[in-house]
Amino acid sequence: MYRFIWILFMSLIGFSQTPKENAISYINNKQFKRAQSEMLTFLKSNPNDKEAIELLGDAYGQQKKWDGAIEQYEALTKKEPNNANYQYKYGGALGMKALSISKLKALGIIGDVKKAFLKAAELDPKHIDARWALVELYVSLPGIVGGSNSKALKYANELQNLSKVDGYLAKGYVYEYDDEPELAEKYYRLAIKVGGSVTCYDKLTTFYEKQNKPEKAISNLEAAQNKLQRNAMHYQIGKVCADYNIQLDKGEKCLKAYLSHHSSKDGVPKAWAYYRMAQIYKHKKNKTEALKWIDKAIKDLPKIAVFKKEKASISKL
Provide the residue ranges of all domains of the chain, joining segments of one domain with +.
233-317
Model pLDDT, residue 144: 45
E strand or H helix that includes residue 160? helix 149-162
Integer Cα distance of 226 and 215 in angstroms = 17
For residues 73-88, average pLDDT: 96
Residue 283 or residue 27, greater confidence: 283
Integer Cα distance of 23 and 51 in angstroms: 11
Note the pLDDT of residue 145.
54
Amino acid at 262: H
Sequence-distant (6+) residues with CB within 8 A of 317 are 282, 285, 287, 290
Reported as type and span, the H/E element at residue 168 is helix 164-177
pTM over 0.75: yes
Evaluate if residue 4 carries a pLDDT over 50: no
Percent of the chain with pLDDT over 70: 93
Q: DSSP of 94-129, one letter per residue? A: HHHHHHHS-HHHHHHHHHHHHHHHHHHHHH-TT-HH
Smallest CA-to-CA distance from 61 within 38, 86, 36 is with: 36
What is the rounded distance in angstroms from the CA atom of residue 154 to the CA atom of residue 168? 13
Domain covering 233-317: architecture: Alpha Horseshoe (1.25)
Q: Give the integer Cα–Cα distance in Å for 306 and 82.
A: 49
Per-residue model confidence (pLDDT) at position 212: 96
pLDDT tens-place string over residues 161-188: 999 999 999 999 999 999 999 999 999 9
Rama region for 100: left / alpha / beta (φ>0; ψ in -120 to 50; rest): alpha
Rounded Cα–Cα distance for residues 224 and 199 (Å): 10
